[in-house]
């Protein structure tokens, strides 16, 4: 679990660094195909810019969510759930690193979003993808686990009088 989370944090931070290094102040879109573009956005809020005026609050909530995800990952019942939660942890820690270490300062930093889909508003990054796919995978693994647990339980037989 720890290795997957570390790989996600590293990949997220490396891609953000590359985008920042290739970005010039004159351009907002660095490269793209029309549908998928690299567009640098500094997001001080949560997903979609929610609570953008409250970066310290967003940082505290992000840290709490990362902590809860770590606890759930350590207590997970199955491998699939642990892998999915590790992805959530890696994504949460990748974005939390931005909030803690990037300008304008500790706990007030902006998350670097850089992937933009032409048909949609908003931009995101690898950490966001890890969180989203991790949550979706966790829900699927949880439902599959519940389904298999019910299938293993003996069924009550109804007898006619």
* Residue 26, pLDDT score: 47
- Write down the pLDDT at residue 117: 86
Closest by alpha carbon to 69, among 87, 53, 85, 50? 85
Q: Which two tokens stand for residue 29?
A: 């879109």
* Average pLDDT for the chain: 86
Q: Is residue 152 in a domain? A: no
More confidently predicted of 55 and 148: 55
Percentage with pLDDT > 70 across the chain: 88
- Domain membership flag for residue 13: yes
Question: pLDDT, tens digit, for every residue of 59-77?
Answer: 998 899 899 989 988 888 7
The whole-number pLDDT of residue 73 equals 87
C-alpha span between 76 and 84 (Å, rounded): 10
- Cα 96 → chain centroid: 10
Beta carbons of 68 and 117 less than 8 angstroms apart = no
Within a domain: 73:
yes
Q: Is the pLDDT of residue 157 over 60?
A: no
Q: What's this model's pTM, rounded to 2 decimal places?
A: 0.84
CA distance 44 to 55: 6
Phi/psi of residue 76, nearest 5 degrees? -65, 150
Q: Note the pLDDT tens digit of each residue in 2-58.
A: 899 999 999 999 999 999 988 765 455 556 567 888 888 888 888 767 788 888 898
Catalytic residue among 12, 98, 113, 145: 113
| Tokens 């300062």 belong to residue | 105
What b/e readout covers 76-96, taking b as 16+ CB neighbours within 10 angstroms? beeebbbbbbbbbbbbbbbbb
Domain extent, residue 33, equals: 2-146
In a domain, 114, yes or no: yes
Tell me if 154 is assigned to some domain: no
Q: Is 153 within the bounds of a domain?
A: no
- How much is the average pLDDT of 116-133? 88
How many structural domains is the chain composed of? 1
Residue 133 reports pLDDT greater than 90: yes
Question: CB–CB of 46/92 below 8 Å?
Answer: no
Q: Is residue 80 domain-resident?
A: yes
Please say if 12 is a catalytic residue.
no
User: Could you tell me if residue 158 is inside a domain?
Assistant: no
């Amino acid at each position: 679990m720890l290795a997957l989370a570390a790989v996600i944090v590293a990949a997220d931070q490396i891609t953000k660094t590359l985008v920042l290094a290739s970005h010039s102040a004159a351009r907002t879109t660095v490269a793209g195909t029309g549908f998928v573009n690299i567009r640098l956005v500094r997001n001080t809020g949560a997903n979609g810019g929610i609570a953008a005026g409250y970066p310290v609050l967003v940082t505290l909530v992000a840290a709490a969510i990362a902590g809860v995800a770590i606890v759930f990952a350590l207590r997970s019942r199955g491998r699939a759930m642990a892998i999915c939660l590790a992805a959530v942890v890696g994504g949460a820690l990748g974005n939390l690193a931005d909030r803690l270490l990037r300008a304008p300062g500790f706990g007030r930093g902006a998350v670097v979003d850089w992937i933009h889909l032409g048909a949609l508003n908003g931009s995101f990054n690898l950490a966001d993808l890890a969180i989203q796919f991790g949550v979706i995978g966790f829900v699927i693994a949880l439902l599959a686990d519940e389904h298999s647990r019910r299938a293993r339980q003996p069924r009550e037989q109804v007898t006619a009088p």
